[in-house]
Amino acid sequence: MMKFYYLKSRIKHLIIAFINYFHLAREARLDTILQHNRYQNQKRLIPFGYKIYSQDDDDGIIREIFNRIGTTNKVFVEFGVGDGLSNNTLALMFDGWKGTWIEASAKQVKRIKQGFKKTLSTGQLSIIEAFISRNNINDLISSQVQQKEIDLLSVDIDGNDYHILEQISCVIPRVIVIEYNAKFPPPVLYCMGYKETHIWNGSDNFGASLKFLELELEKKGYLLVGCNLTGVNAFFVRKDLVNDKFLSPYTAENHYETAKYYLAHSKSGHFASYETLDDRLQQSPSVEIK
């Protein structure tokens, strides 16, 4: 029996050592990449990237964008939020933002409702369980969001992202975050055909190329101001807000990042929990949610 517990303990320590080695190797690789001349221009967003709750470095990039253009009502809409602990807007709620999440998975929505019970009760966050389509997206958003202009829209549904974004007319976001398909570098124009019941199967059949998004969103009044380092998300800012605050030209050729998924899912302190946000609200009654 003692041998069994000793062996179990050794295996546990070996696993921990391997995980720590993996993260150290990843951080070393990341530091090497960021030393490249490409990332030394301070108008480029990637040097400001970091993770709090986002999947990758999006939290830092989003914060830097709003450092440059300012905020108005601090209202967000995000769809494709998973269990709510690894997305682009959770960190914003610690800064007084409020908004709406839309998620198709009943299992994930149940977790969110149980985990963020207090946050939901304050009205700072609302959650909608729905499978998004071109036909229902405006009704879904309008059911919770009364403002015409919002600060942030984040789109990540692994498939019909552009087709859904194209249909949104009920709100005018100042900033849009949308996943792109990094398999197709500029000047490739690719967009997955609309499939109302599409569920991503892990293949390259999803989303749109960065060049396609650049050209189509420019028609809607948005400029591409950057991508995250892992080559997952692209960031667009409304033309009237850009001025000279970001690195031009606002093209896929300038801002495209190759798929570096091996850098994804970086650590950010201890593992995320629902209680962190809920307890903060409970312990800080002076925090005003506008």
CATH number of the domain that 137 lies in?
A: 3.40.50.150
Judged against a pLDDT cut of 90, whether residue 114 lies above it is answered with: yes
pLDDT band at 290 (very low <50, low <70, confident <90, very high): very low
Could you read off the pLDDT of 76-105 as tens digits, one per residue?
Answer: 999 999 999 999 999 999 999 999 999 999
131 and 272 in a common domain: yes
Task: Please give the span between the terminal C-alpha atoms of the chain, in angstroms, as a whole number.
Answer: 59
What pLDDT, on the 0 to 100 scale, is given for residue 282?
Answer: 53
Proportion of the chain above pLDDT 70, given as a percent: 88
20 and 89 in a common domain: no
Peptide linkage before 249 cis (omega within 30 of 0): yes
Q: Nearest-CA neighbor of 151 among 269, 71, 213?
A: 71
Please check whether residue 288 lies inside any domain of the structure: no
Could you read off the pLDDT of 211-252 as tens digits, one per residue?
Answer: 999 999 999 999 999 999 999 999 999 999 999 999 999 999
127 and 31 in a common domain: no
Please check whether residue 261 lies inside any domain of the structure: yes
Structural domain boundaries enclosing 24? 1-35
Contact 208, 176 (CB under 8 A): no
Q: From its phi and psi, is residue 88 left (phi > 0), alpha (psi between -120 and 50) or beta? A: alpha
62 and 8 in a common domain: no
Q: Nearest-CA neighbor of 176 among 197, 155, 149?
A: 155
Helix, strand or coil for residue 31? helix
